[in-house]
A and B are shown apart, each in its own frame.
Chain A
Amino acid sequence: MTSQTTLLADDASCPASRSLWQLGWQRLRRDRIGLTALWVVLAFVLLALAGWLGLAGSHWRDEVAKPNMPPALFKDYGPATVELTAADIDAAQQHNTSAADASAATGMSAEDDPLAADMAAAQTQAAKAAPLAVTPANDSLLILGSDSRGRDVLQKVIQGTATSLLVGLSGALLAILIGTLLGALSGYFGRRVDDLLMWFYSVFTSVPDMLLLLAFSAVMSRGIDTVIMVMALTSWTGTYRLMRAEFMKHKGREYVQAADAIGASHRSRMFRHILPNVTHLLLVQFSILTVALIKYEAILSFLGFGVGVSQTSWGAMLAEAPAELLQGYWWQMAAVTLFMSLLVTAFSMLTDSLRDALDPKVK
């Protein structure tokens, strides 16, 4: 490939031919929607990178505000919260003490109560400990509000982005690796190898993805690495099918025969000669898979089979949504929906643009 390009470039009458990647990039740059989508996706990846490195969203566990505080912009749109004044508390306490007196009149006296001394001691201890509880910065406004434990939703959603993208990207990458390797072996060697791997493929495709995911997560410990592995093990089949067909098509082509003639080994023919000619398909496949896996991760984490409790993800945040929504706290769900839809839309549009840009038939 390269030697041919230089030869052509030497010839002054013929302009240097560009590779498919250069052509694709050129087409993508002309495609305004595709380019915007690319920037949005890159912004998300940067955000996730900041999340992994602990630059952003690392304080998502801190309880920095009052519980369930609405977002700054929608301060007045949350459910009406009643600010308790000292007078209210006094009234409530008086009511409590009168109720306690009433029960004391029918119940036993302090002398009879075996727990009275312990309770008194406990109360003095509690009184000592009470002022130590840090009062959170009550008046600070959070852009996306806070959740039921007073954690910043913005921090959580950034951390969730990091987790979901990590699962999506690395799951898709692993799935592509497995699918490409098996597809290459199957398509290139054919015969026995193909039969064996096709059998393997048919086993995995005869069980629906979701069921396979659940079966895997039933036997494995929960955690982010398990989720990634399970997703890779269940979603390599599409790539396998694609690569098998491509390798079958390419192995008879003249350039591969030429490689054979100059003594290239099987491995070199498969991965140095054929693979670069099909990588553009893999890129498209990769972005399709990433979107699918991000959606799967949300569902798995929602059901409680996803990331562990010490991590948060979009699915784990959505799992808190039904209970919050019942009380009128809508902002955590809104934040996750906003972030997730933005990423998924951008990724899908990028996929479409990539497919068009990298299509060698389009001139």
Chain B
Amino acid sequence: MLAYILRRLWQMVPTLFGVMLLLFILFNWVGGDPSYILAGKSFSAETLANIRHQLGLDKSLPEQFLIFVQQVLTLDFGTSWSTQQPVADILGSRIGPSLTLALPMLLVSLLLSVIIAAIVAYVRGSLTDRIVTLICTLAMSVSALVYIIAGQYWLAHKLGWFPILGWSDSLATNLWLYVPLPLLLGLVVSLAPDIRFYRSCFVEEMNHDYVRTARAKGLSEQVIMLKHVMRNALIPVVTSLMMSLPYLFLGALLLERFFGIPGMGNEVLNAVDRSDFPVIKAITIYVALATMLFNLLADIVYKLIDPRVQLK
């Protein structure tokens, strides 16, 4: 097991190198010379040269790449171009709000969708099943933007049930006051595809022979569903859950933008808006690292819930 983990960690090195290379090509080569953006309106040749020197742009490309590699290895991405804050500080202050929204959303969405999917799969072929499937198909066809715009307008503006947007410093106030509406709208967007996917996982498991055997043995339906089917159907569920975990760090981009939540997603959008390359680079590196680690974790969790899985 340990050898496996170590080998997988070792395999991440070339991938991370590739991500760095991609970012370097994008931002240092395709992105062009950022010193004009930084100099603002009143620039002279001297300021431009000065800025280029500060950013290390007067060095050759390989040397610049080495600087970037050094930044990644020390996880020190310098300061933001637009606010001059250290990038680490910015990201540190943004991760909290993102998690405050994304973590409850992930948990509630997972619970609800697995339960509804299990029920619907159990009564598959019935009217309930067909209605739920139809609603899911229709719900998936509407853009996430429409749900958020309409939800914010009706529930917050017209009916006044929730604040339209906002964020505070206290976790309790946030959870109590500012999180519910984005959470609800996030659920509306994510439930439909999740239910459909999990339903198909459950239905596939329920067609297996072992379910018939269990029934023939005289086991109760609850035991069959909860003990036999659920455990097997959870494997794809765990995969999709693990795949969605890196997105926790990225936050719910659109929701954060609409509801003024100062999280990572909002920060990415602002950074792209202001061409704040160090912030984009740092967030991309962190999210890539998180993705690789969670992929590894997913494989390990597989092994734990399904003894048949061989790690190689």
Contacts and interface: CB of A to CB of B under 8 A. Distances in A.
Interface of A: 199-200, 202-208, 210-212, 214-220, 295, 298-299, 302-305, 314-315, 318, 321-322, 325-326, 333, 336-337, 340-342, 344-345, 348-349
B140 A206 contact: no
A342 to B, nearest CB: 8
Contacts of B6: none
A290 to B, nearest CB: 14
B280 A218 contact: yes
B: contact size bracket: 35 or more
B269 interface: yes
B283 A218 contact: no
Interface of B: 14-16, 18-19, 21-23, 26-27, 30-32, 137-138, 140-146, 149-150, 152-153, 157, 246-247, 250, 253-254, 257, 268-269, 271-273, 275, 277, 280, 283-284, 287-288, 291-292
30 contacts: A203-B15, A203-B21, A204-B22, A205-B291, A206-B15, A206-B19, A207-B19, A207-B22, A208-B250, A210-B250, A210-B253, A211-B287, A214-B268, A214-B269, A218-B272, A219-B26, A298-B145, A299-B143, A303-B269, A304-B273, A305-B272, A318-B145, A321-B149, A322-B152, A337-B146, A341-B141, A344-B140, A345-B137, A345-B138, A348-B140
A325 B143 contact: no
Contact of B15 (A202, A215, A314): A202
B283 A211 contact: yes
Contacts of A349: 137
Given A207-B287, A208-B291, A210-B250, A295 B143 contact: yes
Given A215-B284, A217-B272, A322-B149, A299 B144 contact: yes
A340 B253 contact: no
A333 B32 CA distance: 38
A301 B152 CA distance: 20
Contact of A215 (B23, B137, B140, B254): B23
Contacts of A206: 15-16, 19, 288, 291-292
Contacts of A326: 153, 157
Contact of A318 (B146, B277, B287): B146
Nearest to B249: A208
A302 B292 contact: no
Given A218-B272, A337-B143, A208 B153 contact: no
